[in-house]
Amino acid sequence: MDEIQTNESVLFWKDPSEQLVDQKMESAPLIAESATDDLAKIKAIVSITLGMTLVLATGYLVAVILSDGAILLRPSEVALERHSGYNDLIHHDSSIDGSGVVVCIVDSGINLDHSDFNDMELKGWKDFISGRSTPYDDNGHGTSMAGIISANGWLKGIANDVDLLIAKALGASGAGEDSVVADAIDWCVVGGAHIISLSLGGAPDALPFLPGTGRSSGDAANEAIDAGIYVVAAAGNDGGEDDDGDVAHPSSETAVISVGGSTLKGTSWSGSSEGDNNGRFLPLPILLPRNDPHKKPEIVAPAERVPVLTNEGGWGLADGTSAATVYVTGALALLLEENPSLKANGSQGNADNINLVKTWLMESSAPQEGQTGHDDKYGYGLLQIKELLEQVNSE
């Protein structure tokens, strides 16, 4: 699971050993109706009040500056700057908001009490872990991912007027069974999803065709795609020395859109998994060579220190292709808002059309300097939302 980074809370308190009155002071004779004493008392009260106000105000400012929002006041300036910077990097179009598009997020759930969800109501909820009827999130990953697309407070989601379906298929540890994820994908399809967002992944079974292994998330994703539903999934976070040689499952499925990661500077994020597009016999599973526009990953999006909502009601910074996945999900929601015929229930909604949209993603993305064609880590390039919408509208 992606690493969530939050700063420690900054708390302010008064030492209980400190006393406002010296308990050892000897009692002095009382002087009735002493104007001098009254004035002194008033000055003391005013002085104490002003002092406490100054301490609290100073504490508030320091906490906001240092805490990355962990004390639930607001995001840090760093988080807000990165939020704006990433929107600029991917050429986000804020004139549209995903209205009329149904997005299903399969993850660890959602904490709707976060202020940045602004009393949002879900289109649907299903708990595949504990069977609870009320939305919750006992891990926090799902809340962070949902906020990237649907937040409408200090942080603004990429397409924050989508109708949101939430399928809880991951437990408190952030892990889950592939067969449960498959059931959750099926539920998204039945619920009318136009896009299914999977900020999760793992290594596929070495021999998935053996009897008794059951139906996989890849099987469910392919059936959703056959119905004209877009499936977006994380490429994985094992880049570098630990890379296992290919993107994570189910993003490795041909028509699933596999999303790698970029930094705020637009360079490749070091933890992003590489795709094996030349084919191999070993190690298992056997991979066939991939062709355009299905080489993995197809595209990259923000993945380093991405501002997110936290499960405790605050804000933090997250690393990982999970976050990048939701940026691409949001971009597709904007595309479908402007082009409703491309939805699964639209006049052009089918699997062939998904391949066409993947071609548009390929052609509108921004490659790295010096890059020609597909790169096994950077994909066809960096997500560019404005250019994607222009590409679709021009055709």
Q: In angstroms, how far is CA 335 from the centroid of its own chain?
A: 19
Res 350: pLDDT? 75
Place of tokens 């690393």: 319
pLDDT of the residue at 256:
97
Token representation of residue 377: 């880590």
pLDDT digits (tens, 9 = 90+) for 327-380: 999 999 999 999 999 998 765 667 888 999 999 999 999 999 999 999 999 999
Which pLDDT belongs to residue 367?
Answer: 97
Check residue 83 and give its pLDDT: 97
Alpha helix stretches (DSSP H) within 92-216: 141-150, 178-190
Per-residue pLDDT, 189: 96
- How far apart CA 103 and CA 337 sit, in angstroms, is 12
User: What parts of the chain have a pLDDT lower than 70?
Assistant: 1-72, 203-213, 346-349
Q: Are 285 and 207 in contact (CB under 8 A)?
A: yes
Pairing of strands 102-107, 195-198: parallel
What are the distances in angstroms from CA 254 to CA 77, 103, 287, 343, 358? 40, 21, 11, 20, 11
Long-range contacts of 176-179 (CB under 8 A, 24+ apart): 176/129, 176/200, 178/202, 178/214, 178/216, 178/217, 178/249, 179/214, 179/215, 179/216, 179/217
Cβ atoms < 10 Å from Cβ of 129: 18
Q: What integer pLDDT is reported at residue 286 of this predicted model?
A: 79
pTM of the model: 0.81
Question: Contact 125/166 with Cβ under 8 angstroms?
Answer: yes
pLDDT at residue number 245: 82
Q: Which helix (H) or strand (E) holds 102?
A: strand 102-107
Q: Break the chain into its structural domains and give their ranges.
A: 7-17+29-67, 77-394
Specify the fold of 77-394.
Answer: Rossmann fold (3.40.50)
| β-sheet bridge partners, residue 165 | 104, 124
